[in-house]
Structure 1
Amino acid sequence: MAAITRLHPPSLFSLKSSSSLITRFPSSLYSPRPLRTLSTTAILGSNAQDQVETVEAHGSIVGDLLDYLNESWTHFHATAEAKRQLIDAGFHLLNENDDWDLKPGGRYFFTRNMSCLVAFAVGEKYSAGNGFHVIAAHTDSPCLKLKPRSASTKSGCLMINVQTYGGGLWHTWFDRDLSVAGRVILRDGNGSFIQKLVKVKRPLLRIPTLAIHLDRTVNKDGFKPNVETHLIPLLASKLEETASSETKEKSATTSTKAAHHPLLMQALSDEINCNVDDIVSIELNVCDTQPSCLGGGNNEFIFSGRLDNLASSYCALRALIDSCKSPGDLASEHAIRMVALFDNEEVGSGSIQGAGAPTMFQAMRRIISCLAEKYVGECSFERAVRQSFLVSADMAHGVHPNFMDKHEEYHRPEMQKGLVIKHNANQRYATSGVTSFLFQEIGKIHNLPTQEFVVRNDMGCGSTIGPILASGAGIRTVDCGIAQLSMHSVREICGKEDIDIAYKYFKAFYQTFSSIDSKLIVDS
């Protein structure tokens, strides 16, 4: 079977800067590239060609989502790939530090910290005070991150000390083929510094479980690892048995001082083709190396890490791009269509690149001012916010067939049955009766299914960026998501059909929400 190829994302990520800390975007980032690196059979199974033809005939984005997931080992890589796709689609890259020159009908985006992105398309009939139609998601997922000093040695083994990020199902990280990916800062030899993305694609690390012979009660009492002492990846056996004499001599003089094992640093330098000494800083995640793929008896499922929440991020990104791809798509639009992809949702959003920062609303105010070509008072921004609508898109809890009692009896979302609208009386979700109605009207018009979810009264409820953004400036918000199982596992599962439903729903939101919203009469 012929392989479908896709090049890996560029390792350089740029943000224009006048300081000595510079980041450069290579011209290769702008060139088109083929589609997939995995063989079609590996992704789709033995009837791969038929599957691909069927998917393409129905305009499915599932194959492209698999590409995106396989490129996006980290939040940095997810943002870089989103950036590449926006540029390929004709969106103009802005810098937050520069003046903006915006025009009706224009398409723009900017990034922050290489892990947060805001993109928008201006309707050709836009005027100051009109609303924003926004889909917001997040780029981060629970994972293990290297500690600032990660090098340790135990029983003759080189170990990597890690921090837990977010609320992961940490037992699922044991006995997986792991590696590292993230961001490094390099000294370029001219007194400047370059930020690069790195991904060591080969299995580099592993967290072994304890043999059952040494833990006889594990199946009865449960596997309860201590995340500080047991969740430490193994890098190598002791250096004396694996290294050359030159490496041993160098290691003997640096091992007590080095923050990270020389073997790890060498793997990074080999991947990005630089000298070890040029690496001045690293920010790395531990990542599972198993590719995202289709699975199930009918290839109806997506098996992957980081579905929460890259599946939502990609559906939103693709919907924005495709809703204004053709000439005339924005000709009758009075609003501004926007995607906001934030970092750090899994740890509360309280960062400069998280939804707790005023990034999105600052951008809105700035956009209004630029398009008005004059100073815009507070009332223009407030009027715009009152006319705006936010879709907070985050994966939803599908009903588990082995644990059906964990769901409220009449709110059991199923995979392959459409988007899930989330409700919570205690405002863990931002959905209201009005926002739910407006959002479901989109589905009714376009014959797209929705489901509804509330958590049981005797269980705690998670939350999303929805309430954070809704309360930030008073924007109308609905919380929704794609039903999935194994949430926060190293390997998650969702329905293939739900991806296309979400994409179509989000695209319809951009294209038709203005007309739907105009029919809602407010009794003042």
Structure 2
Amino acid sequence: MQNEEFVNGLLDFIKRSPTPFHAVQTMVEKLENAGYKRLTEKESWDVNQQGRYFVTRNDSSIIAFRLNRPLLEHGIQMVGAHTDSPCLKVKPNPEMVDNQYLQLGVEVYGGALLNPWFDRDLSLAGRVSYLNEDGQIGHELIDWQKAIAVVPSLAIHLDREANENRKINKQTDLPPVLMRLPENSPEDVSFNDLLLDLVNAQLDATENGRHTATRVLDYELSFYDVQEPAVVGLNDDFIASARLDNLLSCYTGLMALLDNDGEQNALLVCNDHEEVGSVSASGAQGNFLKSVLNRLCGSDEGMSRTMCSSLMVSADNAHAIHPNYTDKHDANHGPIINDGPVIKVNASQRYATNSESGAMFKYCCELADVPVQSFVVRSDMGCGSTIGPITANELGVRTVDVGVPTFAMHSIRELAGRMDAYYLYRVLRHCFS
């Protein structure tokens, strides 16, 4: 796959994936089109030695794997990423009406950079659980697919200190405005009724013969920016998009798996809830990956032997050195955009890289003819983390933390290198082989 084709596919994937649920749905479509067979956790598995399979949990995490050789002797090459991104999530009882404006109460999910959420065209997507006319519970992914809301800024005339000393109250400043209610309309507007109409419109549009939804029971919904991903820059150097952290790694790992015909056993895991600590059934601290590997290995001894011959590449975006804030980086470890993927190192094990796993990844980059960089946070600053240390701890597997250099991480619109995304794809494809 050439760079332009890869980047176009990445942009389309992000556009189709406004939430972790949609990201997994899109990945499932690609896997099924490539001949991968769906497994379910509640059934016994009849896994072929030469098979291609995938399994999901909570519709927001996914594991895909191919088997070619005995696991105990050859191990399995793994890539890990996460499907979630910082965002604004709708509260269970969200309706707010003030001066005839309908707003929705929101929670901040993850470590979001909040200022860029103001004055953006926002839509809403996620999963809705409903009761149908037969008294059965159903689940539907919904997406308004158009701008339906905005979080307006307060005018500079009413806040003269906004540019010098602006503070954002997550409770009072962030509820998006959806509409101006007609005069004399009741103020007890039901958001669930709006959801019910959308769910039934989608059910009517399908050919599955699903029964009409009669009541919304629950939902997990997130606002997102409707501005589409784009290649930007005078020389088309950059990719600008929401959710580059970490859908870029999800797509890169997926395409590296699908485009590789090597004989090595290979696995991709994309977990939800990394941005809030990974503590959930579908997060990296849950047992999803370990459960799948236990099924494949057959015993604790088999699992231990397999992990000794395996490698996990934890792929999550890295901080590029910002030309306006160079003092925020260690001078010798400031990754440059489009100079290749970054190996992330931390003495306190916030990243799982050690000299052995780092050497293996560097050699893979060399064999794939891909440049590689290193990142270490300033010694006087705190360090973020990834699913890497969690996975290494749970499985006892050699792990290396890597990622592409990124500006504005956790903003509503991030910036990464067009070449770096393709570089990471090439080296992960080589790791899988």
TM-score over 0.5 (shorter chain):
yes
Q: What does 1:146-225 align with in structure 2 at a 5 Å threshold?
A: 146-221=90-165, 223-225=166-168
Amino acid at match of 2:231: L
Could you say which residue in structure 2 is the equivalent of 1:24? none
For the structure 1 residues 189 and 225, does the alpha-carbon distance in structure 2 shift closer, same or farther, using more than 3 Å as the test?
Answer: same
Q: Mark the structure with the bigger radius of gyration.
A: 1
CA offsets 1:230-271 (integer angstroms, 9 cap, x no match)? 111001113437xxxxxx5xx56xx27x4x364565455545
How do 1:120-139 and structure 2 match up within 5 A? 120-123=65-68, 125-128=69-72, 130-139=74-83
1:57 & 1:435 partners in 2: Cα distance?
A: 28
1:58 and 1:456 mapped to 2: Cα distance?
33
- More divergent stretch after superposition (226-235 vs 379-388): 379-388
CA distance in 1, matches of 2:20, 2:164: 37
Contact 1:151 1:261 in 2 (8 A): no
Rounded to whole Å, the distance in 2 between the matches of 1:156 and 1:58 is 50
Matched, 1:238 2:181: yes
Pair 261,110 (structure 1): closer, same or farther in 2 beyond 3 Å: closer
| Residues 58-73 of structure 1: pairs in structure 2 closer than 5 A | 60-73=5-18
Partners of 2:342 and 2:404 within 8 A in 1: yes
Instruction: Give the structure 2 partner of residue 468 of structure 1.
Output: 390
1:307 pairs, out of 238, 244, 265, with 244
1:429 equivalenced with 2:351 (yes/no) = yes
Where in structure 2 are the equivalents of 1:41-52 lying within 5 Å? Answer: none
8 Å CA contact retained: 1:117, 1:342: yes
Partner residue, 2:84:
140
Deviation at 1:277, TM superposition (A): 3.7
CA deviations over 1:464-506 (Å, ceiling 9, x no partner)? 0101111112111000001110100001110101111010010
Contact 1:206 1:233 in 2 (8 A): yes
Counterpart of 1:47? none
- Asked if residue 402 in structure 1 is aligned to residue 287 in structure 2, the reply is no
Confirm or deny that 1:350 pairs with 2:350. Answer: no
1:86 corresponds to which residue? Answer: 31
261 and 193 in structure 1: CA distance in 2 versus 1, 3 angstrom threshold: closer
Distance 1:156-1:188 versus aligned 2 partners, 3 A rule: closer
1:285 corresponds to which of 214, 222, 227: 222
Distance 1:263 1:279, change over 3 A: closer
Structure 1 residues 353-502: aligned runs within 5 Å: 353-369=282-298, 376=299, 378-502=300-424
**Change in CA separation of 1:261 and 1:57 when aligned onto 2, cut-off 3 Å:** closer
Distance in 1, matches of 2:325 and 2:156, equals 26
1:172 CA drift (Å): 0.8
**Cα shift readout 1:18-61 (whole Å, capped 9, x = no counterpart):** xxxxxxxxxxxxxxxxxxxxxxxxxxxxxxxxxxxxxx765741
The correspondence of residues 325-340 of structure 1 with structure 2, limited to 5 A, is 329-330=262-263, 333=264, 336-340=265-269
Pairing partner for 2:254 from 313, 317, 322: 317
> Which one-letter code corresponds to 2:398 in the other structure?
R
Q: Deviations over 1:391-412 (max 9, x none)?
A: 0000000011111111100001
Aligned mates of 1:183, 1:411 — CA distance in 2: 41
| 2: CA distance, partners of 1:448 / 1:98 | 42
Match of 2:426 among 504, 508, 516: 504
What percentage of residue pairs aligned between the two structures are identical? 39
Q: Classify the secondary structure of the residue corresponding to 2:183.
A: helix
Q: Deviations over 1:144-199 (max 9, x none)?
A: 00000010112221110001000000111000000100011233322322211110
In structure 2, distance between residues paired with 1:438 and 1:58: 24
- Post-superposition shift, 1:130? 3.5
Q: Does structure 2 conserve the Cα–Cα contact (< 8 Å) formed by 1:147 and 1:163?
A: yes
Alignment CA distance shift 1:407-1:181 (3 Å): same
Contact 1:131–1:386 under 8 Å retained in 2: yes
Does the C-alpha gap of structure 1 residues 261 and 97 become closer, same or farther in structure 2, counting only changes over 3 Å?
closer
Provide the rounded CA distance (Å) in 1 between the counterparts of 2:4 and 2:20.
27
Contact 1:138 1:345 in 2 (8 A): yes
Residue among 106, 110, 117 paired with 2:55: 110
Name 1:77's counterpart in structure 2. 22
Pair 1:297–1:428, CA change in 2 (3 A)? same
Q: Structure 1: 5+ residue runs without aligned partners? A: 1-55, 242-247, 370-375, 512-524
Relative to its length, the structure with more strand (as a share) is: 2
Distance 1:276 1:290, change over 3 A: farther
SS in 1 for 2:236: coil
Q: Which has the bigger relative contact order, CA under 8 A and spacing at least 6?
A: 2
Contact 1:138 1:313 in 2 (8 A): yes
Tell whether the 8 Å contact from 2:196 to 2:215 is kept in structure 1 after alignment: no
Helix, strand or coil: the match of 2:259? helix
Instruction: Say which SS state the counterpart of residue 100 (structure 1) adopts.
Output: coil
Higher mean displacement: 282-291 or 136-145: 282-291
Partners of 1:57 and 1:437 in 2: CA distance: 27
Question: CA RMSD, aligned part only?
Answer: 1.8
Note the C-alpha offset of 1:217. 1.4
State the alpha-carbon separation in 2 of the partners of residues 147 and 320 from structure 1. 37
Q: Report the CA distance shift for 1:379/1:160 in structure 2 as closer, same or farther (over 3 A).
A: same
Q: How far apart are the structure 2 equivalents of 1:491 and 1:212?
A: 23
**Aligned position for 1:228:** 171
Name 1:96's counterpart in structure 2. Answer: 41
CA contact (8 A) 1:198 1:272 kept: no
Task: Tell me the residue number matched to 1:11.
Answer: none
In structure 1, what is the Cα distance between the partners aligned to 2:287 and 2:74?
20
- Per the TM alignment, residue 383 of structure 1 is displaced from its structure 2 partner at its CA by 0.9
